[in-house]
C-alpha cells in the first residue's frame, strides 16, 4: 500500500511539473504530463546518482517561486512604478549609456561601493550588487516532497529579507551625501523634542522641500516623498488631512498625498549627522543623528534586477546534523539617472540639556 501511494504521488508530482513546464513552452497539458512521467521513468533506469534529476527539478521550482514573490514583494512600495531597466542587464552588468544616466554623478556614488568599469568608448559599466540571505535548514522530506507550506514559509522569509535589504540600499543611494546646489539637503525647523533633541518636521518644512524641487525644475507629476517614521508622526500631529489619509490606507504602499507629493513611509531611510552629512548604510547612529526623509522624481531614477541563484547543500553531506541548507542570491541596483531631481530633509538637533 505504501509503495502504491508513493507511486501515485510520484506520478501526480511529475504530471504537475510537466503541466507547469508545458505551459511555459506552449505544450498541451496532457502531452507535457505524459512526457514528464516518461522522462522520470527512463531516468529511474539510468545509473545516475540518487535524486540528481529530482533535485534539479525542485531547484527550478523553488527558484521560480522566489522570482515571482520578489517581484510581487515590491508592489505598492515606494519603488513600485520606478522605471525598470532589467531588460538591459547583461551578465549582471548594466551600461549607464543604455539607461540614459549621468556617469559623472553615478561614479561618485558611495553607497555600495559599486563595481565600476570605464570602457574605451566612454561608456560606464556597473556590476549589479548582490544580496544574499543566510541559509535556512530544511529536512530531506521537506525539500524533496515539495511541502508547499514549508516552501511558503521559506519563500516568505527569504523574500522579505532580500527586498528589505534592496530597498534600504536603494534609499541610501538616492539620498545625497551632503547639501549642494543640485542635491539639496535641508534640516527640519520645528520644536525640539525634550528627550532626543530632535527638531520636528513642520508644514513650512514640507513647503520648503517643495520649493527646492520647483527650483530644480522637477515636473509636478511623478514626485514622491518617502517619510521616515519620525516625520510621519510629526505630520500626523499637525495635518488632519494627512491623518485621515494615513488612517484610511490599509492596502497600498502610498499613505497619502501632500503638496504635490505621493507620500510613502519607509523605516530604513539613511541616518544623517547633526551637520547634515549622510552616514554609511549600516552605521550605528550617535546622539543627534536621526533618519531622514527624501523626495525624488520617478523618471530620473532606475532600478534593475539581475540573476537569482539558489544554493543548497544536501543532508547526505552533513553527517553531524543530517540537514539540507538553502539560501538565495539576487543581484539588483537602484540609482539616479541624474542626481538633480531629489531633496533630502533630516531632523536638526538641539541639545535638550542646553
Q: What is the DSSP string of 248-317?
A: H-SSSSEEEEETTEEEEE-TTPPEE-TTSPBPPTTPPP-TT-EEEEEEEEGGGEEEEEEEEEEEEE-GGG
* pLDDT per position as a tens digit, 49-64: 444 445 555 667 777 7
- How is residue 215 written as a grid cell? 527650483
Per-residue pLDDT of 62-100, as tens digits, reads 777 788 888 888 888 999 999 999 999 999 999 988 888
pTM metric for this prediction? 0.80
Cell numbers 519563500 correspond to: 155
How confident is the model at residue 93, as a pLDDT?
A: 94
CA-based nearest residue to 349, from 296, 283, 271, 255:
271
pLDDT tens figures, 157-167: 999 999 999 99
Q: Which is nearest to 337 in space by CA: 281, 295, 298?
A: 298
CA-to-CA distance for 245 and 89, rounded, in angstroms? 38
Considering only 98-112, 285-299, 308-322, which range has the smallest mean pLDDT? 98-112
pLDDT on residue 60: 72
How is residue 299 written as a grid cell? 523618471
How do residues 193-209 score in pLDDT, each as one tens digit?
999 999 999 999 999 99
Q: What share of the chain has pLDDT > 70, as a percent?
A: 76
Amino acid at each position: 500500500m505504501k509503495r502504491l501511494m508513493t507511486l501515485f504521488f510520484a506520478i501526480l508530482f511529475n504530471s504537475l511539473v510537466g503541466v507547469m513546464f508545458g505551459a511555459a513552452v506552449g505544450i498541451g497539458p496532457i502531452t507535457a504530463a505524459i512526457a514528464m512521467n516518461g522522462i522520470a521513468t527512463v531516468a529511474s533506469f539510468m545509473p545516475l546518482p540518487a535524486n540528481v534529476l529530482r533535485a534539479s527539478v525542485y531547484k527550478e521550482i523553488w527558484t521560480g517561486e522566489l522570482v515571482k514573490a520578489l517581484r510581487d514583494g515590491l508592489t505598492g512600495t515606494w519603488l513600485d512604478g520606478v522605471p525598470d531597466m532589467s531588460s538591459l542587464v547583461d551578465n549582471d552588468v548594466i551600461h549607464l549609456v543604455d539607461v540614459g544616466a549621468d556617469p559623472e554623478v553615478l561614479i561618485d556614488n558611495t553607497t555600495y561601493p559599486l563595481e565600476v568599469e570605464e570602457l574605451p568608448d566612454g561608456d560606464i559599466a556597473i556590476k549589479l550588487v548582490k544580496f544574499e540571505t543566510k541559509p535556512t535548514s530544511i529536512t530531506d522530506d521537506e525539500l524533496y516532497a515539495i511541502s508547499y507550506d514549508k516552501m511558503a514559509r521559506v519563500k516568505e522569509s527569504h523574500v522579505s529579507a532580500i527586498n528589505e535589504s534592496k530597498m534600504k540600499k536603494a534609499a541610501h543611494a538616492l539620498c545625497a551625501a551632503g547639501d549642494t546646489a543640485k542635491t539639496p539637503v535641508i534640516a527640519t525647523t520645528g520644536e525640539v523634542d525634550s528627550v532626543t533633541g530632535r527638531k520636528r518636521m513642520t508644514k513650512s518644512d514640507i513647503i520648503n522641500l517643495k520649493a527646492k524641487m520647483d527650483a530644480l525644475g522637477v515636473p509636478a507629476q511623478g514626485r514622491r516623498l518617502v517619510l521616515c517614521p519620525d516625520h510621519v508622526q510629526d505630520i500626523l500631529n499637525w495635518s488632519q488631512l494627512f491623518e485621515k489619509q494615513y488612517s484610511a490606507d490599509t492596502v497600498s504602499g502610498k499613505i497619502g498625498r501632500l503638496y504635490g507629493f505621493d507620500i510613502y513611509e519607509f523605516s530604513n531611510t539613511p541616518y544623517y549627522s547633526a551637520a547634515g552629512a549622510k552616514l554609511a548604510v549600516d552605521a550605528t547612529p550617535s546622539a543627534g543623528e536621526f533618519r531622514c526623509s527624501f523626495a525624488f522624481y520617478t523618471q530620473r531614477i532606475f532600478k534593475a534586477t539581475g540573476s537569482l541563484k539558489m544554493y543548497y547543500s544536501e543532508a547526505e553531506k552533513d553527517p553531524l546534523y543530517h540537514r539540507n541548507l538553502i539560501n538565495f542570491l539576487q543581484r539588483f541596483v537602484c540609482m539616479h539617472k541624474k542626481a538633480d531631481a531629489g531633496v533630502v530633509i533630516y531632523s536638526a538637533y538641539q541639545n535638550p540639556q542646553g
